[in-house]
Structure 1
Amino acid sequence: MVEFTEGAPCWVDAMFADVEGAKSFYGDVLGWTFGEASSEYGNYTQAYSDGKAVAAVVPPMPGVDAPSQWCLYFASPDAAATATKVTSAGGEVLMGPMQVGTFGSMVIAKEPSGAVFGVWQPGDHKGFEKMGEAGAYAWAEVFTREPAKADEFLPKVFPYGSQQMDAGDDPEMEGMDFKVFSLGGPENAVLGRMKMDDDFPPEVPPYIQVYFAVPNCDEAVTKAKALGGKLHFGPMDSPFGRFAAVTDQQGAAFAVIDLGTTVGEMPKFE
């Protein structure tokens, strides 16, 4: 079982008004299978890829009218202590710290520029059982209009180092404000941060984009669109893989990436 370092992405889940619809969508697009709903914990239902836990879906709590969206959780040895850091660094704790049976403890929080994230202190449930392979979590990026706020906040809450991307002479990267956060050195990047430009409608709030790996990006996009999802960006080739940003049929945003199809040289980071 993987033990996650403090600050490492360790789990994702999403709330859906139509859980069966979500299971059908992600089962087809990402090849997931699903376990039994846990009635004791609000019908929380784990998703599996090749029999390994990779995510979860859950219906909204009674009386809660929340939009469907993916939530990324970062590992913490002490969720309550991390919640205190969130507040002192200018963020907001939205829920918790809350003990979830023997599985662990959770916090839902918002960084100062507005992106929502989770904190997970593992108990019996450690987190992802598979990462960086088809059907599993691959990467995540904070999209924000106020990058300075996120950049200042994140290293105060988690033990991150950071590197700013050097756009160099690449015209495609001109004006792009992108930073990566790492644990234990630049070679262990765990999170990206992208400044939202004018291509993003003003009503789209800051958010964390979760990337799921797929065998073929274009095929995954075709499946998503056939099931009522929408394509928002791509497919596009990059040094990291061929990727596309989509929303599912209930409006939850995510990205798919074929990590095996890479084009171009890796960007430099300062």
Structure 2
Amino acid sequence: MSRNGDVNQPTREFPEYPADSASTDPAPAARPVAEPDGPDDAGRRGPARGLLLVLGAAALVVVVLLGTQVTGLWPSWRNPFAQETTDRSQPPLLKSIRDLSRYVAAEGNFQVVVDLETDRKYVPDFLLNERTLFVGAGRVEAYVDFSKIAEGAVVESADGKSVEITLPAPQMSDTNLDIEKSYVFAEKRGLLNRLGDVFADDPNRQREVYRLAEERITAAARDSELAARAEANTRKMLEGLLRSLGYQTVTVTYTKP
């Protein structure tokens, strides 16, 4: 309020308070004063902070590495040194289609051990020698080719109760070598052979053992009872089929191979 008692005049100065009124206020609470760090405290905190920084950096590296290894943890993080495989194979090419009219009546699974050695006369084995022990596993099928049934091979009786069928002899398929079950058991090579591989590696070096394994499996299949088993199974199949059609007697014979 103004001193001249005019209430419409704006206040031009703050009212004065008595000097002893400040003594009536409560004393403000005392604030602790932070004391400056001494030289001993600074010396202890310096290595501690450095150790914490090193541990934090190591933990970050571990987390990043784990994130790249754990699937689904951080999908967006990838290891820049991760191994990648690129398939640049060409699409398959269809070369031919063949209608099959063969009845696979039996199948044989064979295993053979090929011991192939190549050396030179008057040359020590430790210098020039190749010996491979190969375990080959293959499959051979025995089948009857119905497309080779000659005219007049099926003869029916007058009363329609019996039938005679003459079939071609069972044949053997080519040996199908199973790569997953075949393996090189042992291999011994001379010093000069190994040195030659450094300059000119031969990717077809094991083709010979594969060829020998296929030939021996094919020979073993021919000497086995696979053909006889195919004849019996084919005969049994035709007898059941023709008897279901009303024939009481079914006779199946085979021509000579």
Q: Which has the higher strand share?
A: 1
Pair member with larger Rg: 2
Same fold? TM cut 0.5: no
TM-score range, shorter chain: under 0.3
TM-score normalised to the size of structure 1? Answer: 0.18
TM-score normalised to the size of structure 2? Answer: 0.19
